[in-house]
């Protein structure tokens, strides 16, 4: 079974771990979000690709959900001693090595897809991890500065990590997406897939950014395979993080049904909501998307594998 998953960081990575456990023999291709990428200290950092790679490769800091296990922060402290920031982005010493290797390879002329493959040689994530594009895309967020009252556009990481989404996102723009081309293998994987899954990743800045690369949305819509998504919104709020802020920016309510309708019937054949949102099932089905309510909390591997099985069952039923 060839499964293609459009993944962001933590929500995508944890789901993928459950999927691998549910169907160990499946051929899994992950199309990873690169809109969160940022240049720091002269290095190219790809937070979502790394979260997937570290989580599936056994190198993740489990409690945090991002960054390396057994991490130290000497380099960051030394940079701060020189007055060189930003201090708000937590790059640890082990993590730095990944970004150094990546930046060195990019500097030597390798595309991000080839670099990611090389990094995965070490981590052996057990999936094929493809950046959505080899071109530069950076998600920016328009805000009104709380101190000056001025409208500013900032990098998504500054909005998410430094400001913790404490002000409203007035617009979310994947800068460069319109000119970007899907990465090598992305469209082919979608066309050849038996099942396409949207994990409970952020619908705007993770899955939404991947779909914003011209050609990818159409390839998902045109794919022979059923497309099934899992709601990152449970009981009217994101399970973790501030997805409600970026959903508001695109005019979507933070409910399991609103997110399904936002993706729409052009993309989705099926949608899973949490049992807490069982009320949403009728509304989603009325819109023409098959819907089931099952537990959607990725509390441990068994629970996450059960979610993956429910998604595959729904895909089978809507084939």
Query: Binding site: residue ranges?
Result: 50
240 binds ligand GDP (CB under 6 A): yes
Between CA 122 and CA 58 the distance in angstroms is 11
Given the complex with Ca ion, which of 48 and 50 has the nearer CB atom? 48
DSSP-derived 3-state class of residue 256: helix
Residue from 60, 180, 186, 243 in contact with ligand GDP (CB under 6 A): 243
CB of 35 to Ca ion, least distance (A): 8
Paired tokens of 126: 């057990």
Q: Which of 247, 261, 258, 313 is nearest to 289 (CA)?
A: 261
Is position 157 an interface residue for ligand GDP (rule: CB under 6 A)?
no
Q: Which of 45, 38, 49 is nearest to 6 (CA)?
A: 49
Which of 4, 7, 9, 172 touches Ca ion (CB under 5 A)?
9
Which residues from 43-102 bind ligand GDP, rule CB under 6 A?
48, 51
DSSP 46-72: -HHHHHHHHHHHT-B-TTTSSSBTT--
> Nearest to Ca ion by Cβ — which residue?
9
Closest by CA to 276, choosing from 257, 301, 252, is 257
Residue selected from 59, 183, 200, 270 as contacting ligand GDP according to rule CB under 6 A: 200
Contacts 24+ apart (CB under 8 A), 299-302: 301/17, 301/18, 301/21
Query: Which helix (H) or strand (E) segment is 196 a member of?
Result: strand 195-198
Q: Of residues 61, 98, 202, 290, which one binds ligand GDP by CB under 6 A?
A: 202
Q: Which does 241 bind (CB under 5 to 8 A by kind): ligand GDP, Ca ion, none?
A: ligand GDP
Nearer to ligand GDP, 40 or 192 (CB): 40
Query: How many residues interact with ligand GDP (rule CB under 6 A)?
Result: 23
Range in contact with ligand GDP (rule: CB under 6 A) among 143-151, 165-173, 290-298, 309-317: 290-298
Does residue 8 interact with Ca ion by CB under 5 A? yes
* Distance in Å, CB of 109 to Ca ion, minimum: 27
What binding mask, one character per residue, do residues 34-53 give for Ca ion by CB under 5 A, x or -? Answer: --x-----------x-----
For ligand GDP, which residue of 154, 167, 297, 301 counts as binding (CB under 6 A)? 297
In this structure, the dihedral spanned by the alpha carbons of residues 253, 271, 263 and 233, taken in order and rounded to 10 degrees, is: 30
Distance between CA atoms of residues 225 and 188, nearest Å:
13
Q: Provide the token pair at 155.
A: 């990098």
Which residue's CB is nearer to ligand GDP, number 79 or number 233? Answer: 233
Cβ neighbours for 312, distance < 8 A, ≥ 6 positions apart: 3, 22, 23, 195, 228
Which one of residues 3, 4, 10, 169 is an interface residue with ligand GDP (CB under 6 A)? Answer: 10
Is residue 296 part of the contact set for ligand GDP (CB under 6 A)? yes
Name the site residues for ligand GDP (rule: CB under 6 A).
7-12, 48, 51, 200-202, 206, 231-232, 234, 238-241, 243, 296-298
């Amino acid at each position: 079974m060839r499964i293609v998953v459009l993944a962001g960081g933590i929500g995508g990575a944890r789901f993928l771990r459950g999927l691998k456990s549910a169907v160990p023999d499946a051929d899994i291709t992950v199309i990873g979000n690169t809109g969160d990428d940022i240049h720091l200290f002269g290095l190219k950092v790809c937070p979502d690709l790394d979260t997937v790679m570290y989580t599936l490769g056994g190198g993740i800091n489990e409690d945090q959900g991002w960054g390396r296990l057994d991490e130290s922060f000497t380099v960051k402290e030394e940079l701060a001693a020189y007055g060189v920031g930003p201090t708000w982005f937590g790059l640890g010493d082990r993590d730095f090595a990944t970004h150094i290797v990546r930046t060195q390879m990019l500097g030597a002329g390798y595309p991000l897809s080839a670099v990611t493959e090389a990094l995965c040689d070490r981590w052996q994530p057990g999936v094929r991890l493809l950046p959505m594009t080899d071109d530069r895309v950076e998600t920016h967020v328009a805000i009104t500065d709380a101190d000056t009252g001025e409208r500013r556009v900032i990098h998504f990481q500054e909005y998410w990590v430094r400001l913790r989404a404490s002000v409203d996102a007035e617009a979310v723009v994947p800068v460069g997406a319109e000119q970007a081309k899907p990465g090598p293998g992305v469209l082919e994987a979608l066309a050849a897939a038996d099942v396409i899954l949207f994990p409970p990743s952020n619908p705007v800045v993770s899955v939404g950014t991947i779909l914003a690369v011209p050609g990818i949305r159409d390839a998902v819509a045109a794919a022979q395979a059923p497309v099934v998504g899992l709601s990152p919104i449970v009981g009217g709020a994101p399970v973790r993080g501030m997805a409600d802020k970026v959903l508001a920016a695109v005019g979507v309510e933070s409910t399991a049904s609103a997110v399904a309708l936002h993706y729409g019937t052009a993309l989705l054949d099926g949608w899973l909501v949490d049992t807490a949102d069982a009320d949403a099932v009728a509304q989603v089905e009325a819109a023409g998307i098959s819907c089931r309510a099952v537990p959607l909390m990725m509390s441990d591997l068994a629970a996450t594998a059960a979610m993956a099985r429910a998604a595959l069952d729904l895909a089978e039923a809507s084939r």
